[in-house]
């Protein structure tokens, strides 16, 4: 990143109370993810007027974003390093552009390529793109044999004033009329899909006043909505040391559970999962080991299934096949399971360890995954025992 590009971060403006700042790179880190896009390598080389020297096995294509496009060449010799060239300035001359980063990494028996480049967006703005390519020899991704994957690592940071408080949110690329913006109401730096997303064009109430966001001439505009709606509840605070949420539910065996009171004298892991969730299934051996080691000393697990309607028989078969002895709650509502919505679960596996007496949250996914789970549970039980003496 050149010094002149860093200077672009200072260019900002204010429109209707909303201030914005162009971010030339790093927006992916701020938003917590990216939307992959495809650039097909299906063009003849002569679309590029001036090509780099020494090309051996080049393929050409266009990187297209909204109404703009930039040519590129990917050169992939059999016995030499691959090289990527991007027409950053859009003049169809690939010899006068900034160098791109393009590295190879072995992933099993195949090679994956990753890198980054820049595109001139106009208005004195240069934006960074993240780029990657799967091994064209990988039969599992045959449909991507002639495809370069990319995502926008540039965008805008908006500061939105709501009832005297200022909230900052980031958007990859250009704001659109269908955009949803994450407004970090509780300032915990974790997005809540149910309680912290404001959709452009739809009224929202996060602070007591009902507002409406719109896009005019490519800029984000905030105004007070004509009709008021109730203020959205705050996201649940599920930090370690906080009280757990309470609920009453029936397990698949018909037993009523009052959480966490039903686990007095014990520690319980609340496990949100599904039979279709690979990472969830990957944790089962660790959970079974911890359960076998500590169940008779006060460790319990309560599963909450995110499986869909009509999957009860399949779920029972799965539980029997995997020999999972702990109780499960199944509503057959997929992502709309009531306990999942109560806990604002937007991704699984999602786990919490709770003290059945105090109801306090003892741990979350950061501590409750991996081969050291049993060791962690043992320490939690030891600390609970010591505290009760």
- Tens-digit pLDDT profile for residues 347-387: 899 999 999 999 999 999 889 999 999 999 999 999 998 88
Average pLDDT, the chain: 92
Say what the pTM is: 0.73
- Tens-digit pLDDT profile for residues 47-78: 999 999 999 999 999 999 999 999 999 999 99
Residue 299 has pLDDT above 90, yes or no: yes
pLDDT (0 to 100) of residue 8? 30
Residue 253 has pLDDT above 60, yes or no: yes
| Rounded CA separation 214/211 (Å) | 10
Residue 216 has pLDDT above 80, yes or no: yes
Which band of pLDDT confidence, cut at 50, 70 and 90, is reported for residue 6?
very low
Does residue 218 sit within a domain?
Answer: no
**Do 145 and 264 belong together in one domain?**
no
Contact 225, 213 (CB under 8 A): no
**Do 147 and 251 belong together in one domain?**
no
Residue 5 has pLDDT above 60, yes or no: no
Does residue 143 sit within a domain?
Answer: yes
| Rounded CA separation 93/49 (Å) | 6
Q: Which bin fits 24, alpha (ψ -120 to 50), beta or left (φ > 0)?
A: alpha
**Do 382 and 259 belong together in one domain?**
yes
**Do 141 and 253 belong together in one domain?**
no
Give the whole-number percent of the chain exceeding pLDDT 70.
96
Which band of pLDDT confidence, cut at 50, 70 and 90, is reported for residue 3?
very low
**Do 147 and 264 belong together in one domain?**
no
Beta bridge partners of 307: none
CATH number of the domain at 342, please.
3.40.30.10
Does residue 174 sit within a domain?
Answer: no
Which band of pLDDT confidence, cut at 50, 70 and 90, is reported for residue 332?
very high
**Do 377 and 256 belong together in one domain?**
yes
| Rounded CA separation 38/55 (Å) | 23
pLDDT (0 to 100) of residue 16? 52
Residue 255 has pLDDT above 90, yes or no: yes
Over residues 187-191, mean pLDDT: 84
**Of 121, 152, 183, which one is at a domain's C-terminal end?**
152
Residue 145 has pLDDT above 60, yes or no: yes
Locate 156 and state its tokens: 């805008």
Does residue 211 sit within a domain?
Answer: no
Does residue 222 sit within a domain?
Answer: no
Does residue 158 sit within a domain?
Answer: no
**Do 253 and 377 belong together in one domain?**
yes
**Of 152, 172, 205, which one is at a domain's C-terminal end?**
152
Contact 60, 44 (CB under 8 A): yes
Residue found by looking up tokens 């090289």 in the block: 83
- Tens-digit pLDDT profile for residues 303-324: 999 999 999 999 999 999 999 9
**Do 271 and 144 belong together in one domain?**
no
Does residue 167 sit within a domain?
Answer: no
- Tens-digit pLDDT profile for residues 8-46: 333 333 345 899 999 999 999 988 788 999 999 999 999
- Domain count for the chain: 2
**Of 152, 172, 195, which one is at a domain's C-terminal end?**
152
- Tens-digit pLDDT profile for residues 277-295: 999 999 999 999 999 999 9
Q: Give residue 347's domain range.
A: 247-388
- Tens-digit pLDDT profile for residues 98-119: 999 999 999 889 999 999 999 9
Does residue 212 sit within a domain?
Answer: no
| Rounded CA separation 198/169 (Å) | 10
pLDDT (0 to 100) of residue 187? 87
């Amino acid at each position: 990143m050149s010094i002149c590009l860093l200077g672009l971060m200072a260019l900002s403006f204010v429109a209707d109370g909303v201030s914005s700042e162009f971010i030339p790179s790093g927006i992916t880190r701020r938003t917590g993810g990216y939307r992959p896009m495809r650039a097909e390598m299906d063009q003849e080389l002569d679309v590029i007027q001036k090509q780099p020297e020494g090309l051996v096995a080049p393929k050409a294509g266009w990187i297209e974003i909204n109404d703009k496009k930039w040519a590129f060449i990917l050169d992939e010799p059999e016995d030499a390093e691959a090289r990527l060239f991007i027409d950053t300035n859009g003049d169809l001359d690939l010899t006068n552009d900034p160098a791109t980063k393009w590295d190879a990494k072995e992933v099993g028996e195949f090679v994956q390529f990753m890198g980054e480049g820049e595109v001139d967006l106009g208005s004195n703005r240069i934006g960074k793109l993240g780029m990657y390519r799967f091994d064209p020899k990988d039969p599992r991704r045959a449909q991507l044999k002639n495809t370069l994957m990319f995502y926008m690592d540039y965008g805008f940071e908006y500061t939105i004033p709501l009832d005297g408080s200022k909230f900052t949110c980031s958007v990859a690329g250009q704001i659109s009329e269908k955009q949803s913006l994450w407004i970090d109401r509780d300032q915990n730096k974790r997005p809540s899909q149910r309680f912290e997303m404001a959709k452009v064009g739809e009224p929202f109430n996060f602070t007591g006043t009902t507002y409406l966001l719109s896009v005019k001439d490519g800029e984000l505009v905030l105004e007070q909505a004509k009709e008021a709606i109730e203020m959205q509840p705050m996201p649940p605070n599920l930090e370690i040391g906080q009280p757990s949420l309470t609920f009453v539910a029936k397990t698949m065996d018909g037993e009523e559970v009052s959480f966490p009171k039903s686990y007095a004298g014990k520690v319980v892991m609340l496990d949100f999962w599904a039979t279709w969730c690979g990472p969830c299934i990957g944790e089962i051996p660790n959970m079974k080991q911890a359960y076998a080691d500590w169940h008779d000393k006060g460790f319990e697990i309560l599963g909450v299934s995110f499986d869909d309607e009509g999957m009860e028989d399949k779920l029972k078969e799965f539980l029997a096949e995997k020999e999972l002895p702990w109780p499960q709650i199944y509503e057959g509502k997929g992502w709309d399971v009531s306990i999942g919505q109560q806990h604002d679960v937007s991704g699984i596996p999602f786990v919490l360890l709770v003290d059945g007496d105090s109801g306090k949250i003892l741990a979350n996914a950061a501590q409750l995954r991996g081969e050291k789970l049993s060791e962690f549970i043992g320490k939690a039980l030891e600390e609970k025992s010591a505290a009760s003496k």
